[in-house]
Amino acid sequence: MNNTESKLITAVLQDKQIHVLLQANVENLLRTHGDIWNFVRLYFENNSSLPPVDLVREKFRDFEPMPGVGATKHHLEELQGEYLTDSLKDILRSAASSVQGGKGPEALNDLITQTSELKKNTSAIRDIDVTDLDSAVAFFENLKKQQELGHVGIKTGLPGFDNYLPSGIMPGQLGVFLAYPGIGKSWLALYFAVQAWKQGRSPLVISLEMSETEVRNRVFTIMGEGRWSHRKLSNGEVEMDMLKDWHAKNLQGKPEFHIISNDQGGEINPSVLRGKIDQYKPDFVIVDYLQLMAPNQKSDNETVRMKNLSRELKLMAIGEEVPIIAISSATPDDVNDLSGVPTLGQTAWSRQIAYDADWVIALGRASNSDVIECAFRKNRNGFMGEFLVQVDFDKGYYRYKDFEDKS
């Protein structure tokens, strides 16, 4: 029988720290002692205490407690490490066999799915004690230092947004831009990314509907604040010396700004995104847009796909401690009216996106108007409200506009 699993069962029977195993979903890790663990767990649920060691030995004749074991948490970490190593070896062997058999795409999909499941089985559950004053003081002192250094809470420079979300866009948040096609949601998301960059953050943009060069043209336009014409950049009408001079003065030495696209047809899912986050260590992530992204857990049902994807992105934002803004299309009640501001119920394919999000901003823009109407449809960390943004898409200008001045 597995020596590590035997040590773990012995440890929990001795130090009684069964909560450590319950919150770790340890049954997914046990390969030889699963039946013993189920007996221990059911005994605890029925009697509110752990069974005596002798009772376990009587029930399972092949179980022999290990001498000199340490704490349950220690042996759980040992088992998680062992499980991770063995599982990765099996996954890689299976993938190598598939590749040798000429099944490269299938091997890649299996590799992504299985490693994502492996991540869930070996991740830790975090908790705090509200009455632990030392923990709270340490947290707030660190938060204050981070705020002073400008490392927490990204501001947009748009009073309407910043007033309704006083703490700024925080690590671990999942924000959503919701709009019909052609409103300007991708442009506004890039404006947010540029503001994060100006505050010393490194953005990562996942573009699933535009090439990376087109997104870069838009970013240059927004960064230039009137210096560049997006139309001319897209046509290649650029004075190279002027570009080099501007780049040297404004971009050199600044945080990196990465753009990832799949214009060659490659699939991008949360596992791929996690790999890019591990590679570039961004402080701000944009997914443009949700309906074109694939979840790790496959499904032929579009609603189930979007539910899976939404949940995976939310868990990633929390686990990686990075804010993620996801752009989502909306389904109109009237296909002849695409200028209004949609409701949460009009989120395309699945409302789970709105449930998982920390905040949702719905966008609308009338035909031939340069004013985007923005309405918070959900806000866990601030207030509900509306604001206007006047945009010059060609020059990259974004200006907050009062409702009284709407015209």
Please tell me the distance from the alpha carbon of residue 116 to that of residue 118, in angstroms, as a whole number: 5
At 389 the pLDDT is 93
SS3 283: coil
pTM equals 0.69
User: In the chain, what percentage of residues exceed pLDDT 70?
Assistant: 91
- pLDDT level of residue 221 (50, 70, 90 thresholds): very high
118-144 tens-digit pLDDT: 766 666 555 667 777 887 787 777 767
Q: Are 205 and 260 in contact (CB under 8 A)?
A: yes
Q: What is the mean pLDDT of the chain?
A: 85
Q: Is the pLDDT of residue 253 over 80?
A: yes
pLDDT at 264: 57
Beta bridge partners of 375: 362, 386
Cross-strand pairs, 390: 371, 399
pLDDT of residue 126: 57
**Closest to 45 in 3D by CA, of 73, 22, 14:** 22
Residue 49 backbone zone (phi > 0: left; psi -120 to 50: alpha; other: beta)? beta
Q: 319 is written with which tokens?
A: 């686990």
pLDDT at 212 over 80: yes
Are 146 and 131 contacting, i.e. CB atoms less than 8 angstroms apart? no
pLDDT digits (tens, 9 = 90+) for 360-390: 999 999 888 999 999 999 999 889 999 999 9
* Selection from 205, 207, 211, 230 nearest residue 220 by Cα: 230
Bridge-partner residues for 329, per DSSP?
A: 179
Rounded-to-integer distance, Cα 73 and Cα 47, Å: 23
Pairing of strands 386-392, 397-401: antiparallel
Whole-number pLDDT of residue 2: 65
* For residue 326, pLDDT beyond 80: yes
pLDDT beyond 70 at 197:
yes
Query: What local confidence, expressed as pLDDT, does residue 111 receive?
Result: 80
Burial of residue 372, with CB atoms counted within 10 A of its CB: 0-12 exposed, 13-18 middle, 19 or more buried: buried
Query: pLDDT for 258-293, tens place per residue?
Result: 998 876 556 778 878 888 888 889 999 999 888 888
Kindly state the DSSP code that residue 176 receives in the 8-state scheme. Answer: E
pLDDT in the model for residue 150 = 58
Please give the pLDDT value at position 120: 64
Res 95: pLDDT: 87
